[in-house]
Amino acid sequence: MKQHRSTAYRTFVATVCLLSLSSAAEGAESIRVLLSADVSRLDIRTESPLKMTDSKGSAQVWHTPVQVATEEKGFLLNGVRVPEEQLTLQAGEQGLTLTFPRTAWKLNGAAMSSDDSGMVVSVSGIVHLVRKGKKFLVVNRVDIEEYVKGVVPAEVSSTWHPEMLKAQAVAARTYALYQQMLSAAREYDVAATVQDQVYRGKQGVDPVILRAVEDTRGLVVTYQDAPIYAAFSSTAAGLTEDAVNVWSKDYPYLKGVECPFDLMSPYYQWKSSFKIDTLEQNLQQQGFSVGKIATITPFLFSRGGRVAKLRVLHSGGELVLRGEELRKAVGYTIIPSTQFAIELIGRDVVLSGFGAGHAVGMCQWGAKELAELGYPFSAILRYYYPGTELQNMTLTNAPIPPSS
């Protein structure tokens, strides 16, 4: 419940909180991370007073825990009406611990630690709440180096070779900078999920991760002095893929290279199945006009042997899908990659395949093996992103849009 203190006390505490915050989220290079876009309730805890600022710049200080929900004309904070469409929350150096309902993270597709009340994530920086109808967005504005510290252990294991961890840190930083430079009109720069790259706040950050990020501080991969679209995925299981074959966009530095280095990946070979009814429903929800499906036939393959296009015969005619569209419709975990063959089709479709992810850019398991063979992170990055070089992020130009 809101603390009833004098105006002078509230002003004093707010001033102390504001001065105690480092420039990490304000002065340094920061990035806006969408933690979840479909939140109905959020529980907040901090070790110091919570500073809440409205759209007019007026600040109030709260003592946590604070529960945030929406109401018809704004937010409810511990049941107290706050008639605002947006709120900004910040605390001291320890940051904020946020607990989301499990349904918010199920929809968001990211894995966090959990307790009995929901999914928990601890973050530094600032948290913006943006009301959208009966729910709200939660966006974490955080120093880009702190963001990278939260991405690396969410994407790979901290037990992997230090040079691979450095390569992952540089790729994550590059991807973030690229997106930030192109997202001025959006309410966030990157999502905290596989939609962009997985971010779990402070979870999993250990001394090994800190060293990898600090040893590469500020470094990004560039092409013609601009940050690249630093795509990466788990396991190529063969050639990496040309971006144009996956996204119909031609990036000059995202060209396929040989990758015989990921044989030890647990995702190198797989078998999976899904129900044809699920595919029909999901395609319809995604706007495809499709009836009862009779057959699914791959008919166009990439240079790397992946399914580029499939022909879907259904009761309403014929539908041509890209391989990645099928993965999206069925689920990225159910169809780990587009390097597959259809073994059986009935009301259940059985696939056998190789690799995990879109296979564009850096192969994480391949980079792990290269690091163990003695290659430095700089060589690993140059191999998977041909024609690029490393630069400090402060010296880069705006990204070059891809040609279609």
| DSSP-based helix, strand, coil % in the chain, nearest 5 | 25, 35, 40
Q: Which of 181, 199, 200, 180 is nearest to 189 (CA)?
A: 180
Rounded distance between C-alpha atoms, residue 147 and residue 150, angstroms: 5
Residue 104 confidence (pLDDT): 60
Rounded distance between C-alpha atoms, residue 95 and residue 150, angstroms: 14
Residue 404 confidence (pLDDT): 67
- What's the burial of 403, exposed, middle or buried (CB within 10 Å: 0-12/13-18/19+)? exposed
Q: Which of 340, 282, 278, 276 is nearest to 313 (CA)?
A: 276
Residue with tokens 């409205």: 54
Q: What is the largest CA-CA distance in the chain?
A: 73
DSSP string for 221-245: EEETTEE----EESB-SSS-B-HHH
Rounded distance between C-alpha atoms, residue 269 and residue 263, angstroms: 9
Residue 26 confidence (pLDDT): 38
Q: Which of 315, 277, 320 is nearest to 296 (CA)?
A: 320
pLDDT, tens digit only, all 404 positions of the chain: 334 434 333 333 333 333 333 333 333 489 999 999 989 999 999 988 999 998 888 899 998 899 999 988 899 999 999 999 999 999 888 899 999 987 665 444 444 554 555 789 999 999 999 999 889 999 999 999 999 999 999 999 999 999 999 999 999 999 999 999 988 888 999 999 988 999 999 999 999 999 999 999 999 999 999 999 999 999 999 999 999 988 989 999 999 999 999 999 999 999 999 999 999 999 999 999 999 999 999 999 998 899 999 999 999 999 999 999 999 999 999 999 999 999 988 889 999 999 999 999 999 999 999 999 999 999 999 999 999 999 999 988 888 788 76
Six token digits for residue 225: 């002095």
* Eight-class DSSP state of 46: -
Instruction: Determine how many CB atoms are found less than 10 A away from the CB of residue 364.
Output: 26
Sign of CA dihedral 285, 355, 378, 253: negative
- The answer to whether the CB of 254 falls within 8 A of the CB of 381 is no
Q: Which of 22, 137, 49 is nearest to 86 (CA)?
A: 137
Pairing status of strand 348-354 against strand 269-275:
antiparallel
Rounded distance between C-alpha atoms, residue 207 and residue 213, angstroms: 10
Six token digits for residue 199: 């971010």
CA 347 to chain centre: 33
Pairing status of strand 190-191 against strand 30-39:
parallel
CA dihedral 272, 273, 278, 279 (to 10 degrees): 70
Q: Which residues contact 119 (CB under 8 A, 6 or more apart)?
A: 99, 100, 101, 102, 104, 105, 112, 113
* Eight-class DSSP state of 394: G
- The answer to whether the CB of 129 falls within 8 A of the CB of 137 is yes
- The answer to whether the CB of 31 falls within 8 A of the CB of 144 is yes
Q: Which of 332, 308, 311 is nearest to 322 (CA)?
A: 308
Instruction: Determine how many CB atoms are found less than 10 A away from the CB of residue 340.
Output: 23
| Helix, coil or strand: residue 157 | coil
Residue 113 confidence (pLDDT): 52
| Helix, coil or strand: residue 220 | strand
* Run of H or E residues at 330: helix 323-330
- The answer to whether the CB of 343 falls within 8 A of the CB of 236 is no
- The answer to whether the CB of 265 falls within 8 A of the CB of 274 is no
